[in-house]
Amino acid sequence: MANNKMLIGFFVASESIFFVMLILAYVNFHGTVTDGPTAANSLDPLRTGIFSLFLLASSFSMWLAGRSLVSKNHFMMKIWILVTIILGVLFIYGQASEWMGLIGQNITISRNVFGTTFFTLTGFHGFHVCVGLLMLTILLGLAMFGDFKGPKSDGVECISIYWHFVDGVWIVVYSVIYLWAFF
């Protein structure tokens, strides 16, 4: 049924407005901080950039999982979903350790508008990644029990659309927060 994919498509469109607003809030306050932490003096674009590659790669592995589904290669599909989960977890690990580092330097959501907008934007994105990981784990579990023999499955395809969306949002977020501050 096309219904499910249409639903997730419009849902993702709706969610993207949510992120647009968070990004607009970040952009609105960009450059207004005169003293205290800012993106330029507290963030490490290289380190986060490397962890971002994991998320980008996970989009690719999710795509491969979908390809395996189409070719009815059940085993490889499970492997690629597992790879996606691992890459997603690595990204979240990177983000968590970045947050811990910032909080350790007393850069928090209440410190100033940079802290406020940075933690809100990356936090909501991280939350979306976690939701995606949860769904992927359920997907993997169901696949272990023999679901999703292919060549089509709305479950796999919808979660895949969501996962690509989360990945796409991160590209924008990374560009706005990290690249804008340093280049």
Partner 1 sequence: MSTRIPLVPENIKPLPSLKGNEGMLSWVSSVDHKQIGLMYLMSTLVFFIIGGLEALVIRIQLAQPEFDFISPEVYNQMFTMHGTTMIFFVVMPFLIGVGVYLVPLMIGARDMAFPRLNALSFWLVIFGGILLYYSFLTQSGPSEVGWFAYAPLSEKPFSLNKGPTYWALGLLAVGISSVSSGLNNIVTILTMRVKGMTMRRLPLFVWMILVTSFILIFVIPIIASAFAMMLLDRLLDATFFTPAHGGSAILWQHFFWGFGHPEVYILILPAFGIISEVIPVFSRKPIFGYSFVAGSTVAIGLLSVGVWAHHMFAVGLGNVANAYFSLASMLIAIPTGVKVLNWVATMWGGKIYFATPMLFATAFIIEFVMGGLTGVAIASAPINWVTTDTYFIVAHFHYVLFGGSLFAIFAGVYYWFPKFTGRMMSETLGKWHFWLTVVGFNMTFFIQHFLGVMGMPRRTYTYHDLPYWGSMNLLSTIGAFVLAISVIIFAWNIIWSLKHGKKAPDNPWNAWTLEWYTTSPPAVHNFDLVPPVRGRRPLWDLAHPDQLDEPNSKVV
Q: Give the interface with partner 1 as residue ranges (CB under 8 A).
A: 1-3, 6-7, 10-11, 13-15, 17-18, 21-22, 25, 28-29, 32-33, 109-110, 112-113, 115-117, 119-120, 124, 142, 147-149, 151-155
Q: Which is nearer to partner 1, 18 or 93 (CB)?
A: 18
Q: Which is nearer to partner 1, 51 or 115 (CB)?
A: 115
Q: Which amino acid is at 182?
A: F
Q: Which is nearer to partner 1, 19 or 51 (CB)?
A: 19
Q: Which is nearer to partner 1, 51 or 162 (CB)?
A: 162
* Distance separating alpha carbons of residues 68 and 131, to the nearest angstrom: 23
Instruction: Give min distance, CB of 155 to partner 1, in A.
Output: 5
Instruction: Give min distance, CB of 107 to partner 1, in A.
Output: 13
Q: Which is nearer to partner 1, 14 or 104 (CB)?
A: 14
Instruction: Give min distance, CB of 50 to partner 1, in A.
Output: 28
Cβ burial of 30 (10 Å; 0-12, 13-18, 19+) is middle
* Distance separating alpha carbons of residues 38 and 178, to the nearest angstrom: 11
Instruction: Give min distance, CB of 112 to partner 1, in A.
Output: 6
Contact 122, 173 (CB under 8 A): yes
